[in-house]
Structure 1
Amino acid sequence: MRPGELIASDRGARAGSADDLSQAWSVLGQVMDPEVPVVSVVDLGIVRGLDWRDGHLHVVVTPTYSGCPATEVIEQDIQHALEHAGFAAPQLERRLDPAWTTDWISEHGREALRAYGIAPPAGSTSKRSLLGESPEVCCPQCGSAHTEQLSQFGSTACKALYRCIDCREPFDYFKCI
């Protein structure tokens, strides 16, 4: 390094504004979850916060669970979307505490899941499921509550496979976590 050169992490550093944060939230609202491409990372609730640190946008991300195979892809998608929108070298922080919960999915995200054919989490997270109580899962196709679980695991580990007794359609249910 020669005198006067910037350290690579300092390139593009600038003071941020409230408008920049608003724009960043808007950009992230367009970054879709790779496993459920109709729900943004904002609506999924995994983007926990945005602020400015050392002249760069700082993004806090909490994966849906610590072993989620899509975590690195999501972080890369966030990084690329922000860089494409003009945010130089955004800094991502993966935060596991507090753990993500399905309670963080927005109403818009829940409706998007339903429209896509995935039953959104029923109710909120609780310990009742540990005691054997099953949630009332409504069919995303016809709205019937007359459904049955076929498997505890659906297309991904965070979903269960259900079937509607009325319309006979199988569907994924996004488990309460």
Structure 2
Amino acid sequence: MTIRSLSEEAVWQALARVPDPELPVVSVIDLGMVKSVSVDHRGARVELIPTFLGCPALGWIADKVRAALAEQGFEAEVAFALGVIWDPSRITPDGIDKLRQMGVAVPAKSDAAPVACPYCGARDTDVESLFGPTPCRAVYYCRACRQPFEAMKP
């Protein structure tokens, strides 16, 4: 495969089409997982920040990033910035809206205040379990609208 003229913008456009495997409504960009993108005559290098260090989907995500760039005719090296701690403040405003629409709350940056319910906006919520369906989410309950919901862990 020949490497086309590669621009950083083209890499970002390809990354915008790479969904999170567990929250497919958001991309790796929406989640704030992209630490850096660089391009040169050999291809692209993408450095990602895992949302959770022990995430079992990291290999899948790296494969999807490489595949998205290969579809555009680009070769890519994907690395994970294991020394950088991801937190929900990295999620884009668009990503927060998409997550809320699917019933997942995003706490404020390491906020100790109660998490707002994604359904009614009330802060009268409790943690039901720190162990959600994935390592990066917890299960909450809203006393105002009586809905259980998931929230990204701070």
- The normalised TM-score by structure 2 is 0.91
SS of residue in 1 equivalent to 2:66 = helix
Which residue identity does 1:22 align to in structure 2?
A: E
In 2: Cα distance, 1:36 partner to 1:159 partner: 11
After TM superposition, which residue ranges in structure 1, 4 or more long, deviate above 3 angstroms? 11-16
Q: Residue 149 of structure 2 aligns to which amino acid in structure 1?
A: F
2:2 corresponds to 1:12? yes
CA distance in 1, matches of 2:70, 2:135: 31
Query: Displacement, 1:137?
Result: 1.0
How far has the Cα of 1:13 moved from its partner?
A: 4.7
What SS class does the counterpart of residue 45 from structure 1 fall into? coil
Whole-angstrom distance in 1 between the partners of 2:126 and 2:79: 39
Q: Which has the larger radius of gyration?
A: 1
Looking at structure 1, the residues matched to 53 and 130 of structure 2 have their Cα atoms a distance apart, in angstroms, of: 19
- 2:85 match: secondary structure: coil
Which residue of structure 2 lines up, in the alignment, with residue 42 of structure 1?
A: 29
Residue 145 of structure 2 is matched in structure 1 by: 167
**C-alpha distance in 2, partners of 1:14/1:36?**
31
Structure-to-structure mapping, 1:83-102, within 5 angstroms:
83-87=70-74, 89-102=75-88
Question: What code does the residue aligned with 2:57 have?
Answer: A
* Equivalent residues of 1:15, 1:55 under 8 A apart: no
Q: Which runs of 5+ in 2 are unaligned?
A: none
Deviation per CA, 1:51-93: give whole Å up to 9, x if none: 1245211111121122111111111111111101221x21112
- Aligned pair count? 154
Equivalent-residue separation in structure 1 for 2:51 and 2:105 (angstroms): 17
Greater RCO, CA 8 A, separation 6+: 2
Q: CA RMSD in A?
A: 1.7
Give the SS at the match of 1:49: strand
Structure 1 residue 139 corresponds to structure 2 residue 117: yes
1:108 to 2:94 alignment: yes
State, as a whole percentage, how many aligned pairs show the same letter. 36
Contact 2:31 2:91 survives alignment (8 Å): yes
Q: Partner residue of 1:125?
A: 110
Work out whether residues 44 and 104 of structure 1, in 8 Å CA contact, stay in contact via their aligned partners in 2. yes
User: Which residue of the partner structure matches residue 129 of structure 2?
Assistant: 151
Q: Aligned with 1:50: secondary structure?
A: strand
| Aligned counterparts of 1:91 and 1:44: Cα–Cα separation in 2 | 20
| 8 Å contact kept, 2:117–2:125 | yes
